A and B are shown apart, each in its own frame.
Chain A
């Protein structure tokens, strides 16, 4: 059994980069304590995995101290600069909860504990994990660096390992092995329920900011964590829930920033989360692209003159900074001759869409199976459908509009991918739809949160 101490060290070391970056950007103290810890872990994992990759590509062997050194230095600087404020995301004020709130917190805690148990009682074993992410992590960790022929070897020796796939999950596992001091297929499993726990903190804080009622935010948090598909994917070592969490953060903090353009913390949190989307799964590039129409859907509500003015502070910069790492990664993938056989840019053309229009009924049938199939999703898609029908006049109101655009753009994009891909459609839908829906689900809750307010459903809470 993996040492409790090693788990604690892993969590603290993973929090370190995100925590210190957050202290740098959150000068106005807009981020709450648990939210701050959640962001620290999530961004920390993204930053550390990227750092190990970049150092490895520069020829530096994997070394714990080299990786942690800049963050330790930044911690000292932040501790001197902020003094007592350094621990502001770790200090919690005792709050009074009524019976319903206490009940909801208990249910959320129960679900989280069960998720932890399910995750760590088994070794790495799920299909995508052993075929892709954990396999790469094992190869990389045992090599002690990124071998010059790593991508070519993957393509040549490991069919189905997808050498073109982004490496965040693999390098997160390498990071865990570095801390635990050896390859351990049980140790790696701790990464994922912790990610779920910290994401729950961020999720609740974001929803609270939207619905402005603690109880309503707790209800939505309970609904999210208790969805069978969500908790299952928090245990198996796959990248889908992680992608959904980063997409959620990129989208929500972007909306908060657009609501308060002077807020640098929200701007940076959205940007950092969105910039890391490409690093989790190939679909992340598409999700980052979806953020652009969402951004404009908010700005479009202004007059033409104001729109031009609105573009000036930050929006262009946001888009440029978002695109830069994606373009670099795409060039890297192209330079190394890494091609995804299921879907790649050469498949993107209108001819294919027109040619494959007959796939649409099958795709829609698969979507409805999930909407009405509450085994994996409980009632969430049904609730969203009922809200969309009963509150249709609010779907395109100014607050709800960006989330509506996001959900519509998401389904449109994935439908087009299904239509353009060469993979046999029945197999493709069967094996991917339930995972793809995890990418949009947390933003679905944002949409619900924004819909509740004009429909006055939260008034009694």
Chain B
């Protein structure tokens, strides 16, 4: 293979294939995977709206609700979100300085309707899908 003679052609061919692949994967992301729609949607929204879009509207409403109702420094446990999933990580991050604990003062219920736990009483509810339970003082 005479690389010296073909160096210009070689560069041209490699660059052409590279650009085709580059454009192809960007377009695939934008069109097939819906990134274009996502960006259009994100551009329409303010910061809270973008957060809501990225986190998922349901989860974000739940987190905003919990953030408003729980005092800073309160401890909580989340029910209804798989432990260590991305949603769980985002929730722990978003709710800080409220801290997740195995012996929580509050239980945040995302989803399961009618959730109950011994020693906790319901204190807030959002549209019947999110609950906040508080540890009963008598327990």
Contacts and interface: CB of A to CB of B under 8 A. Distances in A.
Interface in B58-96: 84, 86, 89-90, 92-93, 96
A341 interface: no
A374 B21 contact: yes
Shortest Cβ-Cβ A-B pairs, 8 listed: A460-B8, A130-B93, A131-B89, A456-B4, A457-B7, A130-B89, A226-B22, A460-B7
Interface string A427-461: 00000000000000000000000000001111111
Given A228-B25, A379-B21, A383-B14, A459 B96 contact: no
A122 B18 contact: no
A125 B100 contact: no
Contacts of A412: none
User: What is the predominant secondary structure among interface residues of chain B facing chain A?
Assistant: helix
Interface in A381-408: 383, 390-391
Contact of B96 (A139, A160, A391): A139
Given A130-B89, A131-B93, A379-B18, A121 B51 contact: no
Given A125-B54, A379-B17, A158 B8 contact: no
Interface stretch (B39-47, B105-113, B122-130, B131-139): B39-47
Contact of B11 (A134, A135, A159, A219): A219
B27 interface: no
Contacts of A226: 18, 22
Interface residues of B, number: 36
21 contacts: A1-B47, A121-B39, A121-B43, A121-B50, A125-B55, A127-B86, A130-B89, A142-B96, A142-B97, A158-B92, A159-B84, A186-B47, A223-B18, A374-B21, A378-B18, A390-B1, A391-B3, A456-B3, A457-B11, A458-B7, A461-B7
Contacts of A131: 89, 92-93
Given A157-B101, A226-B18, A185 B96 contact: no
Given A223-B18, A228-B25, A460-B8, A138 B3 contact: no
Contacts, number: 89
Contacts of A117: 39
A312 interface: no
Contact of B51 (A1, A123, A228, A375): A123
B99 A134 contact: no
Nearest to A375: B25
A121 B4 contact: no
Given A121-B39, A390-B3, A134 B93 contact: yes
Given A125-B54, A139-B96, A460-B11, 8 more contacts: A1-B47, A117-B39, A123-B54, A125-B55, A131-B89, A160-B89, A379-B18, A456-B4
B31 interface: no
Contacts of B97: 139, 142
A99 to B, nearest CB: 13
A219 B47 contact: no
B10 A457 contact: yes
A127 to B, nearest CB: 5
Residue of B11, B43, B46 most packed against chain A (CB within 10 A) = B11
Contacts of B7: 456-461
Contacts of B84: 159-160
Contacts of B8: 460-461
B42 A378 contact: no
Contacts of A123: 47, 50-51, 54
A379 B14 contact: yes
A374 B21 CA distance: 8
A125 B90 contact: yes
Contact of B93 (A114, A135, A186, A219): A135
A191 B19 CA distance: 28
B22 A457 contact: no
Interface in A119-169: 121-125, 127, 130-131, 134-135, 138-139, 142, 157-160
Contact of A135 (B3, B10, B46, B92): B92
